[in-house]
Amino acid sequence: MTPLQAVVAKRIRREGPISLADYIALALLHPEHGYYVTRDPLGQGGDFVTAPEVSQMFGELIGLWCADYWDRMGRPARFSLVELGPGRGTLMADALRAAAALPGFVDAAELVLIEASPALRQVQQDRLGPYQPQWLTSLSELKPQVILLIANEFFDALPVRQFTRRDAHWLETMVGLSDDGDELCLTISREPARHTPLLDRLYPQAQDGEVAELPAAAISMVHEIALRLCQAQGDGAPAQGAALIVDYGYYPSRAHATLQAVQAHRRHGLLETPGEADLTAHVNFEALLTTASEVGARTWGPLNQGSFLTALGLEERAAALAARASAAQQQAIAAAKHRLTDPGQMGVLFKVAALTAKATPAPAGFAE
Ligand code: SAH
C-alpha cells in the first residue's frame, strides 16, 4: 500500500467503510500526502492543463467581464475580488492586467484567494504579490462587502458522493477493505441513503441500476456564495455582486458516473494511487444553479465556453494580439483560440454559468 492508502485503510478499520466523498477529500487534501498539498499539478510536466494556461486571452476576457460588471454595478468604491482555487495565479494576473484598462477597478478591488494547497499558495504569492492578496480558508471569512467571484476548474476538484438506484432507494458507493484487509475496494452501502431530496428532484425517473453523483461539497460552496450575493451590504446599500463559474460539466442532470483519476493526462483506477493522481468529477451545473436559485440568487447560463468567449470578444482580442506577433506566435494564438472554443476541444464540454444578486443587471455574455 502507498502511504495514503495506508492512512485510508487505517481509518476504515476504525470507522468502517467511508464515503467516496471522504476518500476524495483525503486523496486531494490530506495535510501530508494529499495530491494538491504536495505538488503544483499545473506546472511543467503536470497532470493537466487549464484554459488560463492555454492562453492569456482567457484570463484577460474574464478580467474585462469583471471590470464591466463592476461598472454596471455603479463602480462600488471597495469590493472583494475573490478567486476560488487560483492554481498558478495565471488567470488572475491576466485578468487584473486587462481590467486595469478601466480606471479605478484595480484600486477598488481587494484581492481574496481561497486556496487549499500550500505549494500553489506560494506560486500565487510570487505571481500576484504586488496586488497584496489575502488568503482565506473559507468564504465565511469574507468581509461584508460587494463580491465579484471567479472559479475556473475549481468545482470539478470538490468531492462528490455517488449513489446507485435500487428498489426505489439510493445506495451510496463506499470505500472499504478487501476480505484479506490488504486492499482498498469499492462497495455499496447496504442501508439506503437518507435525506436525498435533491437527488430525488434531479433524477425523478431514475431506473434500477443507474448511478448518479451528488456534488455535496460544491453545493455547500454555491449555497454560501449565493447567500453572500443576496446579502444587503453593511451600510444599507442593496445586495450586489456576481460569481462566474467555468468548468467541464453537464446540464441538465444526467444519471452517470463521471468521477475519474487523472495522472499525466491519462486515466487511472480511482483507488490505485491516491495522492498521486488528480480525482475529478464533471460538474452538474443543474445541481449548482438549482441550489443558487433556491437561496434567492439569479442564475445565468450555462453557456458553452466557446460561445461565451466569442461573445466577450475572443476573435477581436486574438486579432489584436496577432497584429503585433511573429508568424510563430500568430500560429500559437490561432491554436489557442481553437483549443478554447472548438466543440471537439474545450468549446462545448466546458460551460460557463453566472450567479448574481436578484435585482442586479445581466452580466456580459449572458442575455436578459
Ligand atoms: N483555477 C486554476 C486552477 C485549477 S486546479 C486554473 O484554472 O488554472 C484546482 C485549484 O483548486 C487548485 O488551485 C487547487 O489547489 C484548488 N483546490 C482544490 N480543492 C480545493 C479546496 N477544497 N479548497 C480550496 N482550494 C482547492
**Hey, which of 29, 83, 115 would you mutate to test ligand 1's pocket, going by the most ligand atoms within 8 Å of its Cβ?**
115
* Cβ of residue 59 lying under 6 Å from some atom of ligand 1: no
Residues 43, 23: Cα–Cα separation, whole Å: 25
Nearest-CA residue for atom 10 of ligand 1: 85
Nearest to 35 by CA among 91, 114, 119, 113: 119
Nearest-CA residue for atom 6 of ligand 1: 87
pLDDT at 234: 65
Whether the bond into 52 is cis, omega within 30 of 0 = no
> How far is CA 231 from its chain centroid?
23
Report helix, strand or coil for 99. helix
* Cβ of residue 36 lying under 6 Å from some atom of ligand 1: yes
CB atoms within 10 A of CB 318: 22
Q: How far is the CA of 84 from the centre of ligand 1 (A)?
A: 7
Nearest to 161 by CA among 180, 137, 183, 189: 189
pLDDT at 108: 98
* Cβ of residue 115 lying under 6 Å from some atom of ligand 1: yes
* Cβ of residue 117 lying under 6 Å from some atom of ligand 1: yes
* Cβ of residue 248 lying under 6 Å from some atom of ligand 1: no
Give the contacts of 367 (CB within 8 A, at least 6 positions apart): none
Report helix, strand or coil for 269. coil
Cell of 108: 477598488
Nearest ligand 1 atom to the CA of 83 is: 1
* Cβ of residue 34 lying under 6 Å from some atom of ligand 1: no
Nearest ligand 1 atom to the CA of 48 is: 5
* Cβ of residue 153 lying under 6 Å from some atom of ligand 1: yes
Nearest-CA residue for atom 23 of ligand 1: 116
Amino acid at 30: H
Residues 37, 7: Cα–Cα separation, whole Å: 16
Nearest ligand 1 atom to the CA of 90 is: 8
* CA contacts within 13 A on the Cβ side of 36: 20
Q: Which residue has the cell 476548474?
A: 153
pLDDT at 65: 98
pLDDT 10s digit of each residue in the chain, 368 long? 889 999 999 999 999 999 999 999 999 999 999 999 888 888 667 788 999 999 999 999 999 999 999 999 999 999 999 999 999 999 999 999 999 999 999 999 999 999 999 989 999 999 999 999 999 999 999 998 999 999 999 999 999 999 999 999 999 999 999 999 889 999 999 899 888 888 999 999 999 999 999 999 999 999 999 999 998 776 667 789 999 999 999 999 999 999 999 887 778 889 999 999 999 999 999 999 999 999 999 999 999 999 999 999 999 999 999 999 999 999 999 999 999 999 999 999 999 999 999 888 899 999 87
pLDDT at 43: 67
Q: Where do runs of H (alpha helix) occur along the chain?
A: 3-15, 20-29, 35-38, 51-54, 56-72, 90-99, 105-108, 118-128, 197-202, 216-230, 285-295, 305-312, 314-323, 327-341
* Cβ of residue 139 lying under 6 Å from some atom of ligand 1: no
Residues 246, 253: Cα–Cα separation, whole Å: 17
- What does 143-202 look like in DSSP terms, one character per residue? -SS-EEEEEES-GGGS--EEEEEETTEEEEEEEEE-TTSSSEEEEE-SSPP---HHHHHH
